[in-house]
Amino acid sequence: MLHVASTFVLLLVLAGVSVRHRPKWHITIMSSAFAIDLSLVLYLEFTRNAVEQVATHVRPMVYVHAAISLGVLITYVVMILLGRRVLKGRRASRATHRNMGITFVVLRSLNYVTALVM
């Protein structure tokens, strides 16, 4: 079930990127992806004590996945802040939002792959 939800989030992210020139659609889709992704993280923490497992397991892939997951959450927040600046008309923020978006998509894709490997 978690892989299905994660696949759905990844598809939402790709859909959000594909409608990036339609702000209302882009914001709605990407906000939905963020909400579902954050819900998945909270679900994992409350049902599986994910943070404790990372702290106690010594498998390198667990650490890699946890680091990438943290990066995804951080870039979500940065993307939201930059997106709000873009909506306010700050030209310089648009390029930064785009570049950070590329980083986000790469990190979210790596997150998906490392979750499958674990």
Q: Show contacts of 44-47: CB within 8 Å, 24+ apart.
A: 44/2
Is 57's pLDDT higher than 70?
A: no
Structure tokens at 62: 């667990």
What does the pLDDT look like over 7-38, one tens digit per residue?
999 999 999 999 999 999 999 999 999 999 99
Instruction: Residue 72: give the domain boundaries.
Output: 2-117
Averaged pLDDT for residues 39-50: 80
- How far, in Å, CA of 19 to CA of 24, rounded? 9
| pLDDT at position 49 over 80 | no
When divided into structural domains, the chain yields a total of 1
